[in-house]
Amino acid sequence: MRIVMLGAPGSGKGTQAKRLEAACGFPQISTGDLLRQAVADETELGLKAKAAMDAGDLVSDDIVLGMIRERIAKDDADTGFILDGYPRNRQQAEDLAAVFDELGLTLDAAVLMDVPQDVLMKRLTGRRTCSLTGRLLNIYFSPQEELDECVKNGGELLQRKDDNEETIGNRLQVYERETAPLIDYYRSAGILQTVSADGSVDEVYSSLVGTLGL
Ligand code: AMP
């Protein structure tokens, strides 16, 4: 199974892709995670990407294409993978199609995680990661016990650097301008599937699994 998860920042792509990974064994490949790792490791690529990421702009197409090529060539991606946050514009969608052609692969589905605009802001500004477990939480939506558990065990609820209101505004605009047109691109290709992603993590996951026929 090879799928692309499409959706605005805050639509829950990452959370759902991680659940699918745990259930099906196909790796979740997130260009955002790969880039954050490169920034943390202070690699040459990370240094190049940092300014664009801090501003909520897209990193250059060549950088992310190189990362994707390298990542899908790894053994664990042999039988399938879930792309999360890639492609993010028309050029990247065409680059991905070219890589698939070259490797003789087929894209099974592009799944649109559909969430009303007003819910996105709360999801993004409230998003936190537990420093101990890496668990994704939200100060508005997660059960209080889960938030308390992290802190009680000596962890911190960390906020992503680009989850502040100014950067979030720009990321949403970039999504509308650059990424949303891919909805029609994949609809025309006949592989678009839409999941209503305005519910609890469990509800959305059930719809996702149902939509993909898993
Ligand atoms: P994400 O975690 O997917 O929200 O990505 C965080 C940031 O990484 C984005 O705001 C971009 O700056 C950068 N990024 C992630 N994926 C891509 C991509 N496919 N193309 C360009 N920039 C990306």
Q: Which residues line ligand 1 (CB under 6 A)?
A: 9, 31-32, 35, 52-53, 56-59, 64, 85-86, 88, 92, 162, 171
3-state secondary structure of 173: helix
Average pLDDT over residues 191-206: 95
Q: 205: which 2 tokens? A: 């996951």
pLDDT given at position 205: 97
- Kindly state the DSSP code that residue 152 receives in the 8-state scheme: H
pLDDT tens digits, 24-50 = 999 999 999 999 999 999 999 999 999
Q: How many CA atoms lie within 13 A of 165 on its CB side?
A: 1
Residue 130 β-bridge partners: 157
In sequence order, which ranges of 56-194 are alpha helices (DSSP H)?
61-72, 90-103, 117-125, 144-152, 165-174, 181-188
pLDDT given at position 6: 98
pLDDT tens digits, 184-196 = 999 999 999 999 9
pLDDT given at position 117: 83
Residue with CA nearest ligand 1 atom 10: 56
